[in-house]
Amino acid sequence: MLPKRLVIIGGVAGGASAAARARRLCENCDIIIFERGPHVSFANCGLPYFVGGEIVEADALLVQTPESLRARFNLDVRVQTEVLSIDREAHEVRVREVVTGHEYTHGYDALVLSTGAAPLKPPIPGIERNGHFTVRNVPDVQRITDWTKDCRACHAVVIGGGYIGLEMAEQLKRHGGLTVSVIEALPQVMAPLDPEMAAWLHAELRANEVDLHLGDPVAVFEPPRADENARASVVVLKSGQRLPADVVILGLGVRPETWLARNAGLEVGKLGGIRVNDHLQTSDPRIWAVGDAIEVRDAVTRDWAVIPLAGPANRQGRIAADNIFGRPSRYQGTRGTAILRLFSVTAGCTGPNEKTLRKYGIPYNALHLHPNSHAGYYPGAEPIALKILFAPDTGRLLGAQAVGHDGVDKRIDVLSTALQGNMTVHDLAELELAYAPPYGSAKDALNLGGMAAQNVLAGDVHLAQWDEVAGLDPAKSIVLDVRRPDERAKGFIPGSLHIPLDQLRGRLKELPRDREIIVYCHSGQRSYYACRLLRQRGYQTRNLSGSWRTWKMATAH
């Protein structure tokens, strides 16, 4: 029997989507949204851009209001109303009006939890000091802008190099005019990227004068000493370094907000998210859960994962409503497809990275290349640092990462689509992509990636990785640079032999036959030609994946 009363807890991404879809499927039922905060359906993802002033009016962040949702969808939206508990036997929720403290119960036939995720606040001494802010909702960013204005903040310290931390760092620096430090406990920012890809973001932060501290976690937040000028705190790092801060942004990640579900006895997984089946139904068949609060299946590893992103939350809201109203649609799992703008570069990823593939024992090949964003002869072409992970036997695409100034977004979206369609690198080589010189190349970056991967699968070339170079045994391997002399003059891999590609056939005698030759050029194409030439003449070779560009960036400090 279809429900008459649908109650939704949490009225932003997943909750609002579920409610709107539910109304389209059931005109006659009661749909009520309880939202603890003052706003529903606001643009969490736009919050950093309000701090920086790129989004000028806070109202622009309010995609819908309780009034607009009532007018269009006849939804009963109760903001500033927190759900305190769920009585699964009586099919009731107990709620409290935040402003008046008035409490009451409300019955449901079906319940959707879209309670999101709360910013992490680890027990670092001093973390609760004034001038420290997390970023979750509109009041948070209003508090940040008020504080920075009122105390005439000059220096911000952002703790955490995930995407929220980096977006906040960019916005405070670029539009707020503050000097900014970013503190990251790990040796790299943006954990979903592999380290050699994150290195491009480190370079971009430094190029924009962001003071970046990697591998140096916060030990304590202290009040400033007499000789220190800090309106908020002095951030003391494990290394002992002291960073006076007028404002501190805590971007330390998020944790599924599941206390309501736990207290109601719903099953919660080992990662702390509410467990749901493919129909997004919890362990109670009358209760569904969506968004940042749930654990989902990673589409590649098939293990449980917590992936707090807006796209999945919105789609899950729709799927939950479908199931509640008798349409058994399924959620197919998440690939963690994500994108970040950081000053002038864009970084994107889809699917697991190398670290994750190793953890799950999934065999893979890693290929780096640096194709142009569009035809090289048309003005404005920019190289894209592209990494493709694929199965060594079938060539099935497993994951991809890209960083660059132009064209990253569409390549990551195509790669995400390919991943979802279980496509292989052979399919990438064959992709028919729209081409005109301002947009792409006749052989698009992704065609080239597919073709280069096919060369690996065919055994035409073997790859060496940037992190193998430092550990090579000179008795067994040499490194060969086949770039032009003017390129070599700008820098080279220490200890490498130099023979420009065009001289190679005439200088073969200089190369050992009893040792492996790791060949590199600027981005991997000419070194591939060299590998083919040498292999056909009986030399053992490997092409340095991504060549000089990847090695140089990955090993820069």
State CA 397 to chain mean position distance: 18
State CA 458 to chain mean position distance: 32
Residue 135 in contact with ligand FAD, rule: CB under 6 A: yes
Residue 244 in contact with ligand FAD, rule: CB under 6 A: no
> Among residues 10, 131, 192, 348, which is the contact residue for ligand FAD, using CB under 6 A?
10
Backbone torsions φ then ψ of 38, nearest 5 degrees: -80, -10
Closest CB to ligand FAD among residues 25, 310? 310
Is there a contact between 542 and 518 (Cβ–Cβ < 8 Å)? yes
Q: Which residues pair with 97 in a beta bridge?
A: 81
CB of 93 to ligand FAD, least distance (A): 9
Helix pair angle (310-324, 13-25), 10° resolution: 30
In angstroms, the Cα distances linking 322 to 213, 282, 314 are 47, 15, 13
Residue 14 in contact with ligand FAD, rule: CB under 6 A: yes
CB of 127 to ligand FAD, least distance (A): 18
> Among residues 6, 20, 32, 48, which is the contact residue for ligand FAD, using CB under 6 A?
48
- List binders of ligand FAD among 144-173 (CB under 6 A): 164
Closest CB to ligand FAD among residues 41, 547? 41
Residue nearest to ligand FAD (CB): 291
Helix pair angle (163-174, 195-207), 10° resolution: 20
> Among residues 52, 116, 348, 399, which is the contact residue for ligand FAD, using CB under 6 A?
116
Residue 309 in contact with ligand FAD, rule: CB under 6 A: yes
**Amino acid letter, residue 391:** A
Three-state SS for 134-160 is CCCCHHHHHHHHHHHHHCCCCEEEEEC
Three-state SS for 474-541 is CCCEEEEECCCHHHHCCCCCCCCEECCHHHHHHHHHHCCCCCEEEEECCCCHHHHHHHHHHHHCCCCE
Q: Which stretch binds ligand FAD (CB under 6 A): 8-16, 50-58, 227-235, 383-391?
A: 8-16
Closest CB to ligand FAD among residues 55, 453? 55
- List binders of ligand FAD among 461-520 (CB under 6 A): none
Closest CB to ligand FAD among residues 70, 537? 70
Could you tell me which of 57, 29, 27 has the C-alpha nearest to residue 42? Answer: 57
Alpha-carbon span 230 to 218, nearest angstrom: 16
Q: Which stretch binds ligand FAD (CB under 6 A): 305-313, 367-375, 425-433, 501-509?
A: 305-313
Residue 310 in contact with ligand FAD, rule: CB under 6 A: yes
CB of 7 to ligand FAD, least distance (A): 11
User: x/- string (CB under 6 A) for ligand FAD, residues 25-44?
Assistant: ---------xxxx------x
Q: Which stretch binds ligand FAD (CB under 6 A): 302-310, 429-437, 438-446, 484-492?
A: 302-310
Q: Assign 455 to helix, strand or coil.
A: helix
Residue 295 in contact with ligand FAD, rule: CB under 6 A: no
Could you tell me which of 458, 457, 413 has the C-alpha nearest to residue 431? Answer: 413
Alpha-carbon span 165 to 214, nearest angstrom: 13
Q: Which stretch binds ligand FAD (CB under 6 A): 310-318, 356-364, 476-484, 492-500?
A: 310-318
Closest CB to ligand FAD among residues 116, 440? 116
Residue 83 in contact with ligand FAD, rule: CB under 6 A: yes
**Amino acid letter, residue 452:** A
Alpha-carbon span 388 to 453, nearest angstrom: 8
Residue 66 CB contacts under 8 Å (≥ 6 apart), including other chains? 40, 77, 78, 79
- List binders of ligand FAD among 257-276 (CB under 6 A): 257, 260
CB of 162 to ligand FAD, least distance (A): 10
Token pair listed for 518: 């790791």
Closest CB to ligand FAD among residues 342, 479? 342
Closest CB to ligand FAD among residues 84, 436? 84
- List binders of ligand FAD among 85-104 (CB under 6 A): none
Alpha-carbon span 498 to 176, nearest angstrom: 48
Q: Which stretch binds ligand FAD (CB under 6 A): 306-314, 382-390, 441-449, 460-468?
A: 306-314
Token pair listed for 23: 């109304």
Could you tell me which of 61, 101, 68, 85 has the C-alpha nearest to residue 7? Answer: 85
Tell me the residue length of the chain: 557
Q: Which stretch binds ligand FAD (CB under 6 A): 266-274, 303-311, 403-411, 506-514?
A: 303-311
CB of 311 to ligand FAD, least distance (A): 5
> Among residues 64, 114, 171, 541, which is the contact residue for ligand FAD, using CB under 6 A?
114
Q: Which stretch binds ligand FAD (CB under 6 A): 108-116, 189-197, 201-209, 365-373?
A: 108-116
Alpha-carbon span 515 to 541, nearest angstrom: 9
Residue 136 in contact with ligand FAD, rule: CB under 6 A: yes
CB of 294 to ligand FAD, least distance (A): 8
Three-state SS for 159-202 is ECCCHHHHHHHHHHHHCCCCEEEEEECCCCCCCCCCHHHHHHHH
Closest CB to ligand FAD among residues 119, 437? 119
CB of 279 to ligand FAD, least distance (A): 17
Residue 82 in contact with ligand FAD, rule: CB under 6 A: yes
Active-site annotation, residues: 521
Closest CB to ligand FAD among residues 36, 542? 36
Closest CB to ligand FAD among residues 65, 525? 65
CA angle 316, 321, 326 (to 5 degrees): 125
Residues found near ligand FAD in the complex (CB under 6 A):
9-10, 12-15, 34-37, 44-45, 47-48, 82-83, 114-116, 135-136, 164, 257, 260, 291-293, 308-311, 313
